[in-house]
Amino acid sequence: DARVTQTPRHKVTEMGQEVTMRCQPILGHNTVFWYRQTMMQGLELLAYFRNRAPLDDSGMPKDRFSAEMPDATLATLKIQPSEPRDSAVYFCASGPGKGIGNQPQHFGDGTRLSIL
Amino acid sequence: QKEVEQNSGPLSVPEGAIASLNCTYSDRGSQSFFWYRQYSGKSPELIMFIYSNGDKEDGRFTAQLNKASQYVSLLIRDSQPSDSATYLCAVPWTGGYNKLIFGAGTRLAVHP
C-alpha cells in the first residue's frame, strides 16, 4: 500500500530551536502539500509544490518557516527559530497531479510538534 | 462567505441510525468533491469522492451531489460507534494542481 511517510512522528523541543520535518511523498506523485492543524484553526495550507517547484507558500510565516523539495522523494519544512505558537500537528500530503483537481490528496500520519 | 462550509457539530446520532453530513461550496465551477474522515489524533483519510450529480454508494456510505444547489452530502447508514470522527468536505481549487479547499469539518458522535 503506497503511503506518504513523515518523520519524526513526534517532536518536543524548546523555544528558539530549529525544527525540521520531513516527508516522502507517494512514488509517482508530483504535487506535495504541507498543512498545519490546530484545534483553533483547523487544517491550514502552508505551502505546496509541483514537480519540486514551489507554487504557493503564502500560508507560511515567511520570517521563520521555509519549505523545500531537494529531490522528488523528499520534502522538508523547517522552522527557525521555533515559538510555542508553532505547536501543532503538521501534515504532508501528496497527489498525482493529473487532470484539473480531479484527483485527491493522500495524507501522511503527521508530525506532532510541541514547542516548550 | 467561506468557500466550503460545514456545520461544526457535534452531530450526535444513536447507533444504527442514519447520519447525514452536509457541505456547501461557493465555486460553481467545482467538478469533483471529496469526503475525508479524521479520527482523533490521526490524519485525514479519503473515504468517498463524487464527480457527477446524484448519488454514489459505497458500502454504508452514500455521497450525494446537487450542483445546482451547490451542496454535497454524506450519508452513513447503520451508524456505528467506530464512525465517530470528524468528517471533512474538500473541493478542488479550480486552478488545479490537486490543491483542495477543505471545510472546517463536522464532528460526528455515534452513541450506543
Region B53-80: what's the mean pLDDT? 94
Which B residues 16-45 touch A at CB under 8 Å? 31-32, 34, 36, 42-45
Spatial separation of the C-alpha atoms in residues B67 and B82, rounded to whole Å? 30
Spatial separation of the C-alpha atoms in residues B99 and B93, rounded to whole Å? 6
Choose among A31, A43, A97: nearest Cβ to B102.
A43
Choose among B32, B45, B88: nearest Cβ to A101.
B32
For the CA atoms of B44, B45, B49, B54, the dihedral, rounded to the nearest 10 degrees, stands at -80
What's the pLDDT score for residue B34? 93
Q: Tell me which amino acid residue B47 is.
A: I
Interval A29-80: pLDDT, tens: 989 999 999 988 889 999 999 889 988 888 898 899 999 999 999 999 999 9
The DSSP line for A21-32 is EEEEPPTT--EE
What's the pLDDT score for residue A101? 53
In degrees, to the nearest 5, what angle opens at C-alpha A103 toward C-alphas A98 and A106?
A: 115
* Interface with chain B: mutation pick from A107, A109, A113, highest number of B CBs within 10 Å: A107
In degrees, to the nearest 5, what angle opens at C-alpha B90 toward C-alphas A73 and A77?
A: 30
